[in-house]
Structure 1
Amino acid sequence: MNREERLSARRWKISYTYRCICNPQCYWTKIPGRHAGGSGTFLNNGEEALGAEAAAAIVAVQHRHVDIAGIRMWQESAEERDARLALDRRQEADERRGVHWAMGGAN
């Protein structure tokens, strides 16, 4: 599978909550003492085949998250994929024009 096929495929995402180890603990979390995964983390190496718990364990280790719970795994919708591809294409066009996130104090 080439790069374009990988990008245009509907990708898998995983989300979970994990223990807040911030000191002091965050006041803005929806669940006291726990961070939420938000919009999810992409699974990049076929972890979806392992199942939600095993995939979450791999992602948690990569991000140094502890005490994970509330695991949810899903495949992005066609609309989410299209929005991700549009953003990727806009960013590539910006980089070709010399506009990118590493512009320093330009913003």
Structure 2
Amino acid sequence: MFIEVLKSKIHRVKITEAELHYVGSITIDEDLMDAANLVENEKVQIVNINNGERLETYVIKGVRGSGQICLNGPAARKAQVGDIIIIISYCSIEHEKVKNHEPVVIFPDEKNRLSS
């Protein structure tokens, strides 16, 4: 049996852009993607701290080191620039292996950058 568990989380980043007229997705600074073990096109859940909205979309690479967090397409209506969000991904793991699973959780600073 497989169960779905937390794989990765980027905890409390700030929306830097919202582009309504775009194909869709969330653009994430590639440094944050690497640190959180996220890959391009991976499905993620977005939780908006400011308004309680929750949505699912997929990841595209943003400019490395930019702090970019951009909601694209219809998702842009679910947040405003400056809103604080949590980005979450999940994975399926065999139930017997779940005790050894450790999710990756990162805590960027107020400029969406990783502490040195």
TM-score by length of 2: 0.27
Q: Which has the higher Rg, Structure 1 or Structure 2?
A: 1
Relative CO higher for 1 or 2, CA cutoff 8 Å, sep ≥ 6? 2
Q: More strand per residue: 1 or 2?
A: 2
TM-score by length of 1: 0.29
Q: More helix per residue: 1 or 2?
A: 1
